[in-house]
Structure 1
Amino acid sequence: MTNEPAMPAAQQEDAVSVTRHRLMWPSVAAGIWALWYAAYRGYYAAGGTAFLPGTIRPGAEGRFQLINLLGAVIIAAAAVVPIATLPLWSRRWPRRMLLAVYWIAAVGCCMHALVDIAQRVLSLTGAVHIDYPPLWSTIDRRSADLQAIFFNEPWFLVQGLAFGTLCWIGLGPGRARQWWAATAVAAVVALFLLGMLTVAGILDKVIVF
């Protein structure tokens, strides 16, 4: 009887150690996946123009570079988060914070990817017309749609799934994992439907860039 209180604590330490070990490589993978996309955005921020589906309007180059610079900085910061926060999974309140932040990131990335892929497919068929920001002088709509479908949006989808995977591993088996996954999927579905209503013009449209 005297040893019983110590056993759960020891088992809990072992579980935390195993969880952190399992989170290591998925966290590194999530960071690398974000980092290469940050580099891609950084290339355009530095003035690169390769693979653009159009030409930037004269005088708007600075704005285009600034948009990509901000994107590169934000994504690069996001690349560091999964690795830098690994020790926090063993602490109760920081762990809850991570689960909430990653929930938002996973839902946001997956929803963004699914809505934009659907919109781009509809654009290819001529069912919808996408309005582009005025910084574009010319735009090849087909190339822009294909680039979004096969390059940009898959990045968002995989990044969202990566954040979701970290939480799936971090939560371990049980109701908490099921609840996290169920609410995330429900939110993605709800936001996807809301996004498609904007694509269809039923709700106010948003510019997809």
Structure 2
Amino acid sequence: MHKISGEPSNLNAFERFAKKSVWPAYAGCVWALLYAVFVRFLEATGGGIISTYGQMEDPEALAMASYIAGVAIMFCGFCLLGLVRPWGKKVPQWIPLIGEKNIHPLVLLTPTLLGTAFLLAHAVSGMLTKAFFLAGIITIDFPGWAELNTRSLALWDLFFYEPWFLIMGLLAGLSAAHYALTSAIRLTVIKRFTIYYLLFVLLLIILFVVGTIVKF
């Protein structure tokens, strides 16, 4: 894991916590692995809870999509480890030609932060819209289903599917914060960027909610 030498006195409580914490990356990796295996890969075999809520128009397409999603989620979970392991800052020596070369922080931070923004926006907007749907405030289209118990699927999304996105987003965000705070990026840059980033996530949430409610 990254060694932390000294701790600037101008770090706030969250920054001190994030700089010291490597566990979110490991927890995120395990969280991704569990979801990929017990949800996505299970759905790919035709099982899973979601299959009990109705009949898909194209079950084979769902199976393939679930399999691809599972592989992608496992890969992303593994990549989180790079945010707290030495090979996330310097290319391992055994790799030909580029071994021992430093890795620019943005190489890992950019995809991680974009993924985190998507995860958080997906989770918050999904929970809001599903809650509104269950309360009878809005209607939601569920494309791809020939038959569907919409209430059961909405409950699944609200209490399992979206919370997974939320937890995964928080773990990924904490991992990214740790990586940034232990990198060569100046603290003033990190603080300024954090404000813009949170505004970006908020905007993304609004867009996701509007996109779900409004039929373009």
TM-score, length of structure 1 as denominator length? 0.78
Structure number with higher helix proportion: 1
Q: Which of residues 5, 11, 19 is equivalent to 1:15?
A: 5
Alignment of 1:182-201 (within 5 A): 182-201=195-214
Matched residue SS, 1:96: helix
What is the deviation of 1:80? 1.1
After superposition, the Cα gap between the structure-2 partners of 1:14 and 1:181, relative to the gap in structure 1 and judged at 3 Å, is closer
Q: Which amino acid aligns with 2:189?
A: A
Matches of 2:151 and 2:70, distance apart in 1: 25
Query: CA contact under 8 A between 1:34 and 1:79: conserved in structure 2?
Result: yes
Structure 2 equivalent of residue 102 of structure 1: 112
The reply on whether 1:175 has 2:201 as its aligned counterpart is no
Contact residue 28 and residue 171 of structure 2 kept, 8 A = yes
**What residue number does 2:9 align with?**
none
Partner of 1:80: 78
Count of aligned positions: 187
- Give the aligned residue type for 1:63: A
Asked if the contact 1:54–1:137 (Cα under 8 Å) also holds between the matched residues in 2, the reply is: no
Counterpart in the other structure of 1:8:
none
Q: Partner of 1:79: helix, strand, or coil?
A: helix
Identify the residue that residue 157 of structure 1 maps to in structure 2: 166
Cα deviation, 1:38-96, whole Å, max 9, x if unaligned, reads: 111101101214353522247x2212211111111111111111124522443564322
Counterpart Cα distance in 2 of 1:129 and 1:14 = 50
Structure 1 residues 50 and 158: alpha-carbon distance in aligned structure 2, compared to 1, 3 A threshold: closer
The aligned counterpart of 1:113 is 123
Provide the C-alpha distance between the structure 2 equivalents of 1:144 and 1:69, rounded to a whole number of angstroms: 20
Deviations 1:133-161 (A, max 9, x none): 23x23211111111111100111111111
| Partner of residue 127, structure 1 | 137
CA distance in 1, matches of 2:157, 2:56: 21
CA RMSD of aligned residues (A): 2.7
Structure 2 counterpart of 1:46: 45
> Is contact 2:44–2:67 with CA below 8 Å preserved after alignment?
yes
Residue equivalent to 2:150? 141
Q: Equivalent residue for 1:9?
A: none
The corresponding residue for 1:65 is 63
2:26 is matched with 28
Q: Secondary structure at 1:110's aligned position in 2?
A: helix
Identical counterparts, % of pairs: 22
Instruction: Go from structure 1 to structure 2 and tell me whether the alpha carbon gap of 1:90 and 1:189 turns closer, same or farther (over 3 Å shift).
Output: same
Structure 2: where are the runs of 5+ without partners?
Answer: 7-18, 91-101
Give the AA of the match of 2:40: R
Opposite residue 65 of structure 2, the aligned amino acid is I
In structure 1, C-alpha distance between the alignment counterparts of 2:56 and 2:50, rounded to whole Å? 16
Aligned in 2, Cα 1:61/1:195: closer, same or farther, shift over 3 Å?
Answer: closer
5+ residue gaps in structure 1? 1-12, 205-209
- Residue 178 of structure 1, CA deviation: 1.6
TM-score (norm 2): 0.76
